[in-house]
Each structure stands twice: as structure tokens, then as C-alpha cells.
Amino acid sequence: MKTRCCLIALSSITFCMPLLAEIHIEPDPERPGGYIVSKADLEAREAELTSNPMYAVWAKALLTSANSVVEAIEPGKETNPDNVKRAESVFSEGEWNFLTHMAAPEYTYTRFLRAIGKFPAFCAYYSDGRDSDAICKRSIVTAFAHFAQETGGHIAKDNTSDNPLGLEEWQQALVHVREMGWSEGEVGYTTGCGQNDWQNKKWPCGSGQGYFGRGAKQLSYHFNYGAFSEAMFEGDATVLLNNPGLVADSWLNLASAIWFFLTPQAPKPAMLHVIDKTWTPSSREKEAGIGYGFGTTINIINGGIECGEQNKDKGQPVNRVRYWQGLAEHYQIPIGSNEKDTCWQQKPYGSINLDGAEDVLYTNWEANWEYYSDRPGGYSFECQLVGYQTAYSALVAGDYQRCVTNLYESHTSWPAVRVVDNIDPKDPDTPSSSEWKANKVYLKGDEVTYQGAKYIAKWWTQGDRPDLGGPWRSL
């Protein structure tokens, strides 16, 4: 691999860093005005941009089991996947019943196990010495603390008329399977549906469908239903876009919460990796007070509304913390000295200035808009990692190539690009040399003859007379 060497003035130390692989672009012989790029070049560039080991951790956490395997899961079944067996061992059906006296009938222990079984990384085995059972138990208890806030009954223990069993509020999770005030057949939460944008090209709204909150996480809006559907149905967004009610009436009502638990929303980490401490906070996060503990999971879910000094006494975060602490005490979850239950001392993720931060990882691809003088039109023909949602994820196989080819037309003014297996390299000893033509595209290294003199292109050019210099150098 080629390297670029730099001198650090203060210490006079020279260090070398790898240069990114070259991207070769040629005019598309099958489409006038279009271009071709090498698949190998794109794969090499993607590998370089996602070389941090955390990308592999994130991608592995989002791997799913086939639905045929998931739907065969039953409590106590010998053929259950290993992560499901671990969940059963640390959180039995009796414990489920203890926490779900008020739950809607659509939430069952079987569905809970199936939701876990869909994602082998949840309650997985850690081969590096970490306590797999303890992490599994903490993950489930953390999830229930958030369930109690998102879909709980919120009925005081001494309210005997509405709470005759005298249940703690942290025992009142999963009361609501649909957002209050909404029912199937109603069209709602359709903001953005039908617009001519990349979100609708990728996740088109179903006719007459409503995307109001459903399930333990209260999944809302078509772009979230589409993304979740892709995870559940092998890349098919239309399943839940056309039948969002499945998120209420099947094991997807709990799988949606597990999916959210495992999905990083860069720069926010996945909640799992806060709990198991696979994630390491960046310097900017540390400066913002963000570290390990339940408080950071609040920031991940709803930091803009519930975190920061101004929200210290607000009902939602106070409730979440109270539910977590009640559950943690009941289930004897140890709280580390470097963990905080609250997030009032943290800046919300949306308010952290990440400009220039070099230790923050992003998970979405967007067109690289840098100007490249040696490439057609100055376009990079590459994509870069960004900290906002786009049509292309760094955690989804094939999305880098989809970004470069602009599959969902998400970036404007992008040339037509086709990916090919191979581009025949030009032999430097036998350069192409022909009479210059004003309407022809020339790339760096192309040689032409003009008025009896020979010239070589210094970068991409079209219509520039060789004798006038600019992109041409005389030979």
C-alpha cells in the first residue's frame, strides 16, 4: 500500500499514513455521457473508509436469523438458538409474567423470545471473558425500563381502583401496543409520503396506510417502518410499508425494540454497546458528559427532549431513571463506578459540535462532493461517511456501490455511473495518440495531436484546445 509521510514540526517525528486507493473512471461505451468505475476500486475504497473495527462490530450486531428459524422458537424448546436459551435462563417466563401483569395480550413471552432469536447478537456469548449472562440480564432489564416509560401504565401503586394488585410502575410495561388515540385503518403519521425525494423512492408509503406508533418501541413514520422491514424481511421494505399493522399484531411488536436497541444512529452508539462496553466514548462525547450507564441510553432514545440540565426535573427522564433503578435493585444489577443513571449532566447528542472530530464514527454514505481536477467534471465518483440519515448505510452490504451509482437519486447533479467488474488499464508504454477532437472527453494521461504537435492531458478535459495550455501539457 502506498503511504504519505508527514513531519510533525514540534517533535521532528516523521510518520506515514496510507493513501487511499485510486479510483479509475472511464467513459461508458454503452451510455453516452455516462461513466464506468471498477467494482474492485469501490470495494477497496469502502474497506479503507470502514477499516475501524467498530464497523464490523456494528454490522455483526445487526445480522438476523431467518424468519423460519424465528417462528419455530417456543419457550423451553431444545432447538432454540443459543442466545434465546441464555435469555430464558436469566429471564424466565415467570419473570416475564411478573413484569407484564398489565401488558396488552399482543405481547407474549413467546414473541419476546422470537424477537431475541431474530438477532443473534442480543444475549450473545462473549468469548473475551465478559460475563455473557450478566450482559444479557442487564440488556433485558434496560429494555424493560424503557418499555415502562414508552408503553407503560404509569399508575401509582396506591391507586387501588386502577391498580388493585399494587404494582410498582416498573412492573407496568407494555400496556399499549398502538399509540393512544389510533387504531388500524386510520391514515396518519404520513408526513413526507408521496414527495419526490429519496426517502419515498426507497420507502414508498402504502396506499391508505397509517404509520403511527406501534409496538414496544412505538415505531413511527414510513421511513422507520421501511428500514425495519428491510431488516426483518431480507431487504424488502414493502412488507411493513404495505402492512404496518404487523408491528402491533406479531412478534415484530417486540423485535422493533430489539432492532432499535442494536442499531447505532451515528454518532450515537447502539445501546447494546453502551451496556456491554464495546463502545468507547469519543473525546467530544466525554467533553459533553456522555459515558457509560443507563443515562446514555436515555440520550440515545430521546436526548433532545430528556437530557441536559434544563430537563433535570422533567417527567419523562425522571420516570425512566426511577423505573431503571427499581428494576436494577429488584434484579440486583450492579452499577459501576464509571456509570451514571441520569443524563441531565449530559449534552443531548443533537447539540454536540462534532465538526473536525477525528474519533467519531459515522454510519451513512453520501456523495463525496470534493473537487477532483483529474476526474470527469471534477466529480469524485466516490461516497463518504456522514453523521445524518441518507439512503445508504455503511452497515448494509452493497450500499456503498448503490451510493456511488446513486440508486435512489439521493444526490443531485451526479453523473450517470455504472459499476463493472474490470476496467482495462492503459498501457503507459503505448498511450493513445490521435488527432484532438473538440467534443471528445479526455482523461488524465490521454495523448493527442493538434496542428502537428503532441500533448498529454493533465486532468479530465473536453473542448479545451491543447495549444492553449490549461489541462494540456506539450510533449
How high is the pLDDT of residue 23?
A: 86
Using CA atoms, how far apart are residues 246 and 261, in angstroms rounded to an integer? 19
Instruction: Identify the CA nearest to 401 among candidates 7, 8, 46.
Output: 46
Element (H, E) at 225: helix 222-232
How high is the pLDDT of residue 1?
A: 39
Question: Per-residue confidence of the chain (475 residues) as pLDDT tens digits?
Answer: 343 333 333 333 333 444 456 788 888 888 888 999 999 999 999 999 999 999 999 999 999 999 999 999 999 999 999 999 999 999 999 999 999 999 999 999 999 999 999 999 999 999 999 999 999 999 999 999 999 999 999 999 999 999 999 999 999 999 999 999 999 999 989 988 989 999 999 999 999 999 999 999 999 999 999 999 999 999 999 999 999 999 999 999 999 999 999 999 888 999 999 999 999 999 999 999 999 999 999 999 999 999 999 999 999 999 999 999 999 999 999 999 999 999 999 999 989 988 777 788 899 999 999 998 888 888 999 999 998 889 999 999 999 999 999 999 999 899 999 999 987 655 444 455 588 888 888 888 888 898 888 999 888 888 899 999 888 999 8
Using CA atoms, how far apart are residues 354 and 358, in angstroms rounded to an integer? 9
By residue range, what is the domain housing residue 30?
A: 25-52+361-420
How high is the pLDDT of residue 452?
A: 83
Expressed in angstroms, the distance from the first to the final Cα of the chain is 31
Please give the model's pTM, rounded to 2 decimal places: 0.85
**Quick one: 48 and 73 in the same domain?**
no
Question: Residue 451 is part of a domain; what is its CATH number?
Answer: 2.10.10.20
Q: Answer whether residue 97 is part of any domain.
A: yes
Using CA atoms, how far apart are residues 363 and 395, in angstroms rounded to an integer? 7
**Quick one: 392 and 468 in the same domain?**
no
Q: Which of 279, 297, 328 corresponds to the end of one domain?
A: 279
Using CA atoms, how far apart are residues 446 and 443, in angstroms rounded to an integer? 6
Active site residues: 150
Residues ≥6 apart with Cβ < 8 Å to 375: 23, 25, 381, 459, 460
Assign 119 to helix, strand or coil: coil
Q: Answer whether residue 37 is part of any domain.
A: yes
DSSP state of 91: S
Cell numbers at residue 446, please?
490521454
**Quick one: 250 and 114 in the same domain?**
yes
How high is the pLDDT of residue 355?
A: 75
Q: Are 285 and 279 in contact (CB under 8 A)?
A: no
How high is the pLDDT of residue 3?
A: 39
**Quick one: 34 and 85 in the same domain?**
no
In single-letter form, the type of residue at position 265 comes to Q
**Quick one: 89 and 180 in the same domain?**
yes
**Quick one: 90 and 188 in the same domain?**
yes
Cell numbers at residue 78, please?
431444545
**Quick one: 261 and 177 in the same domain?**
yes
Strands (E), 299-401: 364-367, 383-386, 392-393
Question: Residue 170 is part of a domain; what is its CATH number?
Answer: 1.10.530.10
**Quick one: 96 and 219 in the same domain?**
yes
Q: Which of 246, 279, 312 corresponds to the end of one domain?
A: 279
**Quick one: 242 and 388 in the same domain?**
no
Q: Answer whether residue 188 is part of any domain.
A: yes
**Quick one: 163 and 185 in the same domain?**
yes
**Quick one: 105 and 220 in the same domain?**
yes
Q: How many domains does the structure of the chain reveal?
A: 3
How high is the pLDDT of residue 299?
A: 97
